[in-house]
A and B are shown apart, each in its own frame.
Chain A
């Protein structure tokens, strides 16, 4: 079966867009093929800085013929209906129609046969539409045609299109179409500098091979492999070790068609700059990898660059040029670093009075004061050193005003730690300057030093309460202040450090520190708590745990101790995995269902203790006794925060509940007995509420 080769050759495509563009191209073309009844065998897409390419193999040469039946009017129906039917179906007369009988009578049926079209014609129709509507994140117009409306938009100017179609053994056909004046053909171009001549290609196999001969590696993964292997080898051969960087590797492989890896160096004096700053300088500005000494684990004065050319002088000029660029950059970084060291962190703070954090939430200085107060309070609650936590909160944001962080925002916090250590701060205080930003996401490390934990919680809770107070909550996909991340951070800080903290109290205290007066200050802490519950559910779902259990626990009300909630959810999850748990859940649900129906019928609830005198059956009495015991036992276990024991106590309910439903008819003819039994069922529900609201649990 024939194959398609498509290449869109353009000016340089931004590295960050290439992978998605290749994927989009494959998806859009193959989806459309399938929709057109052309089921293909396989497809693969590629991107280089100057081209998107797609190969789809095993496409049927023709679409299958389509046969459809269309029902017309009743035999003997109105003439207008018959004429309309003939017109719509293209039949010349009713003689060409079939007659079909069904219970409503005899109807005319037209058989319409639509012949499949040649795949190449279908391609010529779908490809230009895909190109014209391609989902680039940003696209542009260019050239003389951009003077007229409706000109093509592409990521950068598009120069040529290859579209060939044909079976392996034959000369393929060009899929003929044109987009904005660009006619499809069989011509592409090699490496911009090393092999710029036109190349004639037939199909994917010779296309890829000819490109390789013309110094273009089509497959991004192959380019990555080359860069990675060469960089490792080059550094290893000199006794060093490459600092691996996947993100940078992805980007660099999108900047070259023919990667040539070389090693450069800089003056050793710059190694006095913190490693992270050297790395940020070399990586962000120069897109080069840094190199470490495996013996010390510290950076060496080498870097790995990836050129796009085999230079005629062996790369000497390129290495020298890159070294010349890196030198002043490091010189700047060193100057920034040394300048920063001359000013104490606290001396930077007054400037925060001029910097607005948020229009409605005051200046950064206001915010720092709030975090200090809150950090001290939390420190007291979690047993951290209050003085250190206060000091850390006082200094933690100061590095935002340093030169190095101004230049490289990604080292915020880290520089705070370095500068704090340099001015002789306590190690915990310095660590907190860095760690109070953590955890940044689900994969980030959670700090364990109590001082860091106190400041990290204060920072995040102040943010959450602040934005809640001014009603800037996340909505849908919009979360400009990263409040979901902050809430998840709080959850992880508390759960992973096993902290006991009443969130409602801390939130109320954070709220009291704000200068804004939210309209529903009363509701705010519980609103926020519901937000935490949602985040907890999301987190549990991501971990594969049952998020409905969170609802079951929160539904008990008054739950604001995250650690206890998490523990309860864990114990509940384990319990429900056991047979006792499953059966008890079924029993409780049954009790709830019956109660629900009867409550509706009688328009009343069945609260209140059942009367022992009205028990007539052994199973009733056994259940009543079990409920009493379990209630006491579970409550005692919960009071000791031993949720596993509470669950084990619950398990004891299972046999009497099962026996009850087996032997006892709830809706007894005697109204009093019925009422009493319903009350007993209600007791099951209330007894189990010692651990969770089982009615919220999904089956």
Chain B
């Protein structure tokens, strides 16, 4: 931890200071610090900076905060640690550096978790995202029996082998900050590190939103519109993918892709709309599987397009 920080910026006092400390740490490891992607998504992994950039041969090191929307997890602001909107801090390093575990442990030290008094453990957790057609091996990282991060070596994304493999870290920011600040209710987190009148809590920032979105997600969200939106996003994704292929004029073979990112946006959109429909309880168990498969097909097609782009590493 940086001893020169003013009190209100220290990660154990301030949620924003906590985020800034992580950003700074990973910036020092050579990561580009991105800002959140401007779309609703269920996890930081959906950010194209992870999903798409994990594919292809080019090195890529990035870190960013991503607001994560899990409509089903809303509890109207009444549960001390379950929310439909929370922050994930995401790090991706490709190829995975040999000392990624050490870097991770140093990042914990940077946010005030001292490995001499805490019990930090790497417990088996195989990660799989059926919607992204992705899997990897790694761990959930435990601090004193609490899962505080996910650590994954991506083996496959969008149905394609990762070569080289990227290492991905996901920190549950609220949960970690609650632990570091010593509060039991997420809404009691000190957001800005100030005291007295100047103090802003997590509840001040998000409690209203949790109540409103819980009501929206469970009771009111317009399902007819959402079903329509799912279809539209799916169709648009396909359309952009088709339009993006540059073909060899003689053989008609696909050469390069020019529009993987806009197509992938529609895949993200479809996935979020599906999550909303799921929260409204209008998707039956059997249909559920078929929706997941439909999103996966989009993700795979986008991944294929991406590896045919210049940034994706096409020759």
Please determine whether A157 and B117 come into contact, CB atoms closer than 8 angstroms: no
| CA–CA, A144 and B58, complex, Å | 11
Residues of A contacting B155 in the complex (Cβ-Cβ under 8 angstroms): 140-141
Please determine whether B57 and A140 come into contact, CB atoms closer than 8 angstroms: no
Residues of B contacting A322 in the complex (Cβ-Cβ under 8 angstroms): 144-145
Please determine whether B97 and A11 come into contact, CB atoms closer than 8 angstroms: no
24 contacts between A and B (CB under 8 A): A12-B121, A14-B124, A141-B155, A141-B163, A142-B165, A143-B95, A143-B96, A143-B98, A144-B164, A146-B163, A147-B57, A147-B95, A157-B98, A157-B153, A256-B121, A287-B145, A308-B119, A309-B116, A311-B119, A318-B144, A321-B146, A324-B146, A326-B145, A328-B184
Q: Which residue of the partner chain A has the closest CB to B144? A: A321
List residues of A whose CB falls within 8 A of some B CB: 11-12, 14-16, 49, 138-149, 155-157, 159, 193, 255-256, 286-288, 305, 307-309, 311-313, 317-318, 320-322, 324-328, 354-356
Residues of A contacting B222 in the complex (Cβ-Cβ under 8 angstroms): none
A193/B124 contact (C-beta < 8 A), A146-B95, A325-B146 known: no
Please determine whether B153 and A321 come into contact, CB atoms closer than 8 angstroms: no
Residues of A contacting B124 in the complex (Cβ-Cβ under 8 angstroms): 12, 14-16
| CA–CA, A11 and B137, complex, Å | 12
Does residue B254 face the partner (Cβ distance < 8 Å to A)?
no
Residues of B contacting A324 in the complex (Cβ-Cβ under 8 angstroms): 144, 146, 179, 184
Q: Which residue of the partner chain B has the closest CB to A141? A: B165
Residues of B contacting A287 in the complex (Cβ-Cβ under 8 angstroms): 123, 145
A309/B119 contact (C-beta < 8 A), A146-B95, A321-B144, A324-B146 known: yes
Q: Which residue of the partner chain B has the closest CB to A260? A: B119
| CA–CA, A157 and B126, complex, Å | 14
Does residue B223 face the partner (Cβ distance < 8 Å to A)?
no
A305/B285 contact (C-beta < 8 A), A159-B98, A193-B116 known: no
Please determine whether B153 and A142 come into contact, CB atoms closer than 8 angstroms: yes
How far is the CB of B285 from the nearest CB of chain A, in Å?
Answer: 7
Residues of A contacting B97 in the complex (Cβ-Cβ under 8 angstroms): 143
Please determine whether B118 and A321 come into contact, CB atoms closer than 8 angstroms: yes
| CA–CA, A144 and B145, complex, Å | 32
| CA–CA, A311 and B114, complex, Å | 10
| CA–CA, A49 and B142, complex, Å | 14
How far is the CB of B280 from the nearest CB of chain A, in Å?
Answer: 16
| CA–CA, A322 and B144, complex, Å | 5
Chain A CB within 10 A, most for which of B139, B146, B165, B179? B165
- Which of B119, B122, B139, B285 makes the CB contact (< 8 A) with A318? B119
How far is the CB of A601 from the nearest CB of chain B, in Å?
Answer: 66
Q: A12-B139, A145-B164 are in contact. List 5 more A-B contacts (CB 8 A).
A: A141-B163, A146-B163, A146-B164, A305-B145, A321-B143
Please determine whether A144 and B137 come into contact, CB atoms closer than 8 angstroms: no
Does residue B30 face the partner (Cβ distance < 8 Å to A)?
no
Please determine whether A355 and B116 come into contact, CB atoms closer than 8 angstroms: no
Q: Which of B265-282 contact A (CB under 8 A)?
A: none
| CA–CA, A320 and B155, complex, Å | 37
Please determine whether A144 and B95 come into contact, CB atoms closer than 8 angstroms: yes
Residues of B contacting A320 in the complex (Cβ-Cβ under 8 angstroms): 144
Residues of B contacting A147 in the complex (Cβ-Cβ under 8 angstroms): 57, 95, 163-164
Q: Which of B156-182 contact A (CB under 8 A)?
A: 162-165, 167, 179
Please determine whether A138 and B95 come into contact, CB atoms closer than 8 angstroms: no
A311/B165 contact (C-beta < 8 A), A157-B98, A317-B144 known: no
Mask, B73-111, CB within 8 Å of A = 1, is 000000011000000000000011110010000000000
Residues of B contacting A326 in the complex (Cβ-Cβ under 8 angstroms): 145
How far is the CB of A192 from the nearest CB of chain B, in Å?
Answer: 8
- Which of A146, A308, A355, A356 makes the CB contact (< 8 A) with B121? A308
Please determine whether A146 and B101 come into contact, CB atoms closer than 8 angstroms: no
By Cβ-Cβ distance, the 3 closest A-B pairs, closest first, are A321-B144, A14-B124, A147-B164
Please determine whether A193 and B120 come into contact, CB atoms closer than 8 angstroms: yes
Chain A CB within 10 A, most for which of B97, B124, B163? B124
Residues of A contacting B145 in the complex (Cβ-Cβ under 8 angstroms): 286-288, 305, 321-322, 325-326
Q: Which of B207-241 contact A (CB under 8 A)?
A: none
Q: Which residue of the partner chain A has the closest CB to B97? A: A143
Residues of B contacting A140 in the complex (Cβ-Cβ under 8 angstroms): 136-137, 153, 155, 165
| CA–CA, A308 and B141, complex, Å | 13
Does residue B286 face the partner (Cβ distance < 8 Å to A)?
yes
Q: Which residue of the partner chain B has the closest CB to A13? A: B124
Residues of B contacting A288 in the complex (Cβ-Cβ under 8 angstroms): 145
Does residue B29 face the partner (Cβ distance < 8 Å to A)?
no
Residues of B contacting A256 in the complex (Cβ-Cβ under 8 angstroms): 121
Q: Which of B47-71 contact A (CB under 8 A)?
A: 57
Residues of B contacting A11 in the complex (Cβ-Cβ under 8 angstroms): 101, 122
Residues of B contacting A325 in the complex (Cβ-Cβ under 8 angstroms): 144-146
| CA–CA, A16 and B123, complex, Å | 11
Residues of A contacting B144 in the complex (Cβ-Cβ under 8 angstroms): 317-318, 320-322, 324-325
Please determine whether B137 and A307 come into contact, CB atoms closer than 8 angstroms: no
| CA–CA, A180 and B54, complex, Å | 22
Residues of A contacting B136 in the complex (Cβ-Cβ under 8 angstroms): 140
Does residue B115 face the partner (Cβ distance < 8 Å to A)?
yes
| CA–CA, A71 and B88, complex, Å | 75
| CA–CA, A356 and B285, complex, Å | 9
| CA–CA, A322 and B120, complex, Å | 12
Residues of B contacting A141 in the complex (Cβ-Cβ under 8 angstroms): 153, 155, 162-165
Does residue B35 face the partner (Cβ distance < 8 Å to A)?
no
Please determine whether B80 and A138 come into contact, CB atoms closer than 8 angstroms: no
| CA–CA, A54 and B277, complex, Å | 54
How far is the CB of B96 from the nearest CB of chain A, in Å?
Answer: 5
| CA–CA, A325 and B118, complex, Å | 14
Does residue B284 face the partner (Cβ distance < 8 Å to A)?
yes
| CA–CA, A30 and B80, complex, Å | 55
| CA–CA, A305 and B118, complex, Å | 13
How far is the CB of A52 from the nearest CB of chain B, in Å?
Answer: 16
| CA–CA, A449 and B174, complex, Å | 51
Please determine whether A307 and B153 come into contact, CB atoms closer than 8 angstroms: no
A356/B165 contact (C-beta < 8 A), A311-B119, A321-B119 known: no
Please determine whether B117 and A311 come into contact, CB atoms closer than 8 angstroms: yes
| CA–CA, A318 and B97, complex, Å | 30
Please determine whether A156 and B117 come into contact, CB atoms closer than 8 angstroms: no
Chain B CB within 10 A, most for which of A145, A321, A356? A321
How far is the CB of A459 from the nearest CB of chain B, in Å?
Answer: 22
Chain B CB within 10 A, most for which of A139, A141, A157? A141
| CA–CA, A142 and B184, complex, Å | 37
- Which of B81, B101, B126, B286 makes the CB contact (< 8 A) with A356? B286
- Which of B115, B139, B163 makes the CB contact (< 8 A) with A193? B115
Q: Which residue of the partner chain A has the closest CB to B59? A: A144
Residues of A contacting B115 in the complex (Cβ-Cβ under 8 angstroms): 193, 309
Please determine whether B146 and A312 come into contact, CB atoms closer than 8 angstroms: no
- Which of A14, A143, A308 makes the CB contact (< 8 A) with B164? A143
A156/B137 contact (C-beta < 8 A), A11-B101, A318-B117 known: yes
Chain B CB within 10 A, most for which of A146, A320, A325? A146
Q: Which residue of the partner chain B has the closest CB to A17? A: B124
| CA–CA, A346 and B295, complex, Å | 37
| CA–CA, A146 and B94, complex, Å | 10
| CA–CA, A149 and B57, complex, Å | 12
| CA–CA, A149 and B80, complex, Å | 48
Residues of A contacting B167 in the complex (Cβ-Cβ under 8 angstroms): 142
- Which of A138, A148, A313 makes the CB contact (< 8 A) with B117? A313
How far is the CB of A656 from the nearest CB of chain B, in Å?
Answer: 70
How far is the CB of B11 from the nearest CB of chain A, in Å?
Answer: 16
Please determine whether A146 and B165 come into contact, CB atoms closer than 8 angstroms: yes
Residues of B contacting A142 in the complex (Cβ-Cβ under 8 angstroms): 95-96, 153, 165, 167
Residues of A contacting B122 in the complex (Cβ-Cβ under 8 angstroms): 11-12, 49
